[in-house]
Structures are given as C-alpha cells and as structure tokens.
Amino acid sequence: MLPAAFRGYDRRLWVLNAGFVVSSMGFAMVVPFVSLYFHEELGVPMSLVGVFFLVTAVFRSTFQAVAGELSDRLGRTRLMILGQGTRAVLFGVMALAVHARVNFWAASGILCLSYIAGAFFQPVATAAVSDLVEPERRLGAYSLMRVAHNLGWGVGPMLGGVISEAGYAWLFVFGAATSAFSAWLVRRHVPETHTARPGTSGGHRNLTDLLGVRHDRRFMIFCAFALFLFITMSQWLATLSVYASGTLGTARHQLGLMFGMNGFLVVVFQLPVTRTLRRVSLSGCLALGSLIYAVSFFTVGFAGSTGVLFACMAAITLGELVATPSLTTLVSLVAPPERTGRYMGFYGLVSSFGWSVGPLLGGLLLDLWVDRPVPLWSAVAGFGLVAAAGFWGTRGRFPSGLAPRLATEAALR
C-alpha cells in the first residue's frame, strides 16, 4: 500500500521512474569502471582520465541544456526515446571496441558520444515530472525519482563488479540492452506530457535563447554553489575508485558492493530522511548535505582499510539523502512554468559539468598526493565546505519549500 502522499500520481510518472531504474542500472554498470579500464587496462595516467571526464562534461552538459530547451519546443517523449536509443547503439559499438582493444582516443570518442546521447534523457524526464505533478507534491515526486535512480545505482555497480571480471566488453553489452529497454518503455507507455505554449516554438527563436537564464541572478547564484557541491559529489566516481583500488587494495567486486550499498541506502532511507527534515528549508538541507559530504570525504583520508571505506561511503550517502532532492525541487520552484525545460536543462549543464570536472581535479590531486591521503582528501572536502557556506549564506534568496514539504508530510502521517 502506497503512502497517501504518493497516491494519485499520473501513471506516466511511474513509467518514467521505471525507465530511470533501468537506465540508471545500465549506466551504473559502466561508469564506475571506466576509469579503472582506462587506467589499469590501457595504462592511461589518472590526469589524462580526468581530462577525458572534463571533455565529456563540456559536450554532455551543453547537450543537456540543449535538450531541455528543445523539450520546451518539441515535447519531452521523442527526445527521451532518441537519447536512450542512440545510447544503446553506442554502448554496443563500445563493446566491440573493447573487444578489439582499440586505443584510448578511439574508446574515449565513442564514450563521449554515448554521454551526449544520455544527456537527452535525464533533464527532459525531470522536466516531465513538473508537467505531471503540481508544485505542492513535487518534493515527494522528486524523492521517488531519487529512489528509482538509486535503485538502478544499487543494482548496477554490483552487477558491474561481477560482469567486469568476465571482461569489460560485457559491461557495455548489458548497458546497451538496458538503454534499449528504457527507450521502449517510454515509447510504449509515456504519451507526451508537454504542449508548447505560445511563444516557445516560434521560428524567430534560436537555441541561444537557453542562455536567457543568465538574467535570473538568483538562479545563477544557486547554480554557482551547486557546481561546488557537484564537484564534491563526483569524487567517488573516479578519484575514490582509483584510490581504493591502488592504495587500499580494494577489489573490483568490493567496489561494486560499495557503490551498490550507496544505491540501496538511498532506496531505503530517502523518504524517511525527507520526512525527518520536513521543517528544514531547501537551502538549509543543501547546506547541511554539503557539510556532511565535506566531513565524509575528509574522513576518507584516515581510512586504513576497505571496511572503514564502506563506513565513509555510508556517510557520503547521508549527504546525498539530505541534499539531492532539494536541488531539483528548488529548480522546479524557481523556474517559470513555460521555461521548466530550459531551467532543468541549464541545471543539468551545471550538474554534468560538476560531475565531470570533479574527476579532473580529483585526478590531479591524486597524482600530486597519491602517498599523502590527508592533504588529498582535505582538498576534496574544501569544495564541499564552499558549497555549504554558500547555501547557508544565501538561504533567504530562495523558496524555502516548507509549505509543500509540510503538506506532503502531513499526508504521509
């Protein structure tokens, strides 16, 4: 039996969440092991791996913004199908490339294209939630989306850890299958959620219009501090994986279990944590979550075993539980209704850039301080502290989100 707050949602929301589970599972099988494949199998230095993530950030984040803008004009569904279908094909090509043991430059080019294709799903699906759910119920809807996303991230890395033992090519075979299935789900079960409003699709407009968000000073301040938070979040993507494997001797299947634990903790505890923090403003949650991230990564510098590293990941997950739903909810409340896709797309640009420039910075720090873990992880924690201070210092500028939260939690009780 669903809690009262989650009954009555449009059926398309549940299908989108199912698509998120499948898509996230396939992507999560691949992403944590890309840096290991490049570094351990192809002998690429971590600094160059960081450059790869930076370059993919530029392309992926740009196309996330483009996808959000296009979805306001053309609708959501066809873009989601296009993105997932194209990513399925590119993952299949990457499987063949790994089998043929192509060089780093060819493999990175294929992966870059697959990341661009993936950029046409998440921001568009997130905008579709705003189409389907009234403002006072969006916190619950985005919390459910986080649960769906992390259910995929819980299963994906564990499968990836096992599958990678049979060969990295198989990771991309399974990634292609899950992306194709996600595209089919949307095509079969999600009729269009958005009809372009007058003035949003006129021929006199062009894609540079998506940069119109720069005039929203409040939103740009939010994005600046969100960027620091995403840089902090991203450190487990490559930096923590390589550090755990190279310094602590953590096996790949243990890494898969650790990342899987992160996903399952979100599935189990996201809604209870949201309920517990119901009287804290969205900006307050972002400041608290950023601080938890900073402390957690700082503690990694003192981890002497894989067991302690698992505890650090649990603490990192707590930061995610506190901060992440508030990010998307705040964007949905700040965005004008006819520009939700644009704002979600630009927010996706910031998110993608942070998640990709973070490994570059982490890789440089790891190459510099590979034998000095405390300075390494203290520097990483510094990004989180900047985000925490920024969100706390500007909390009066943004919608608190308290009224929608209290309404949602009253229904939960």
Contact indicator for 147, 271 with CB cutoff of 8 Å: yes
Contacts of 410 (CB under 8 A, 6+ apart): none
Q: pTM of whole model > 0.85?
A: no
Q: Which amino acid is at 305?
A: S
For residue 106, the Cα-to-chain-centroid distance in whole angstroms is: 25
Distance CA 12, CA 274 (A): 23
| CATH homologous superfamily of 9-194+214-412 | MFS general substrate transporter like domains (1.20.1250.20)
Which tokens in the block code for residue 109? 């080019």
Q: Tokens 């985000």 label which residue?
A: 387
Least Cα distance to 381 among 279, 215, 231 occurs for 231
Tokens of 347: 């927010």
Q: Going residue by residue through the chain (413 aa), what tens digit of pLDDT does each one get?
A: 455 555 567 788 888 888 888 888 887 788 778 878 888 788 888 778 878 877 877 787 788 778 877 888 788 888 899 999 999 999 999 999 988 888 989 999 999 899 889 888 877 888 888 888 887 777 778 778 878 877 887 778 778 877 877 788 888 998 899 899 989 998 888 888 776 654 444 444 455 555 667 778 888 889 999 999 999 998 876 788 888 877 787 777 787 788 778 777 887 888 888 888 878 888 889 999 999 999 999 998 888 787 888 898 899 999 998 998 888 888 888 888 777 778 887 887 788 778 878 888 888 888 888 788 899 999 999 999 999 999 998 876 666 655 444 444 443 34
> Where are the domains positioned within the chain?
9-194+214-412
- The answer to whether 73 and 196 are in contact (CB under 8 A) is yes
